[in-house]
Amino acid sequence: MTSQEAAERVQAELGPLWPRDRPVPKELLAPLCEALWQEGINPNRRIVQQRLPVVNDHAVGPGVVAWRKTKGLPEQGVRSPHPLPTNLEELAKIVSLPIAKAPYTCFDPSNDGRWLTPPLKVLQYLGRIENRSVRDAMALVAILRPDRVPRQLYSLISNFTYILRRLMNEQRIEDLTAIDPNDLLFRVYTGEAGEGLTEDQRRTVIYQWNMVRNVFEEYSEKLSPEQREMMSRFFLQPLTDRKKLARYKAITTYRREQQERV
């Protein structure tokens, strides 16, 4: 069977109403990947998606990864020290143990379906985060707020991670939880730190920090003292300097000024 024939079979199985971002069953993609391999083509998400225009690359990702694993192949084009996770079991392998057993989340052994799993795109982004402390914190955000619109959850985590990576590299900080936001964030806001960040990123970093911190605060209220002690070591430090916060220009004011300039 040629790759063209295999692709036509997959599209026929999916039909015209298949959602573009819904994962394609792995057993459907395996023959297509095998046919490409036999034709001398190394299958990856981009190559497979080009032959299946009815779906996007996120829909074919899990199936392609599964096939590549059967061949003992690395994930082509991905800069990661480990395979990108496509499910909770794989995510559990690259986060700290307390995260992988976090109560009141999709990892909770007593989960009966009420706590949702983050979307695939978010899972795979978490796998690309090199710093362990940042990966743990962002993974915790992802499993605490999987109810958010997938695009919004992905944007929150990816944008915040980008800023953190720039700051931690510049300040030579290895552990995210060691950051004192009362010092560093305000130096970023005034331009004394955060070289390379845009004006928008400088203005919003305090807002984003507080947003993530609030997710942790809400979660903390559900936990027992023992659970809180275990999980709080992954939390961001809180902003507590009220005088500095009072001088901090609210994000809504900045957005309004931005719109007026436009």
pLDDT for position 244 = 64
At position 229, the amino acid (one-letter code) is E
Report the percent of the chain where pLDDT is more than 90: 52
pLDDT for position 259 = 57
Q: What's the whole-model pTM score?
A: 0.66
Read off the pLDDT of each residue in 16-35 and give the average, rounded to a whole number: 91
Read off the pLDDT of each residue in 154-176 and give the average, rounded to a whole number: 92
104 three-state secondary structure: coil
pLDDT at 27 > cutoff 80: yes
Per-residue pLDDT tens digits for 43-86: 888 889 989 988 988 899 899 988 988 876 666 544 455 667 88
Per-residue pLDDT tens digits for 219-258: 999 999 999 999 999 999 998 876 666 665 555 455 556 6
Q: Would you kindly state where each structural domain of the chain is located, as residue ranges?
A: 3-70, 88-261
Calpha distance 113→122 (Å, rounded):
19
* Nearest CA among 140, 154, 147 for reference residue 108: 140
pLDDT for position 195 = 87
Calpha distance 129→81 (Å, rounded):
10
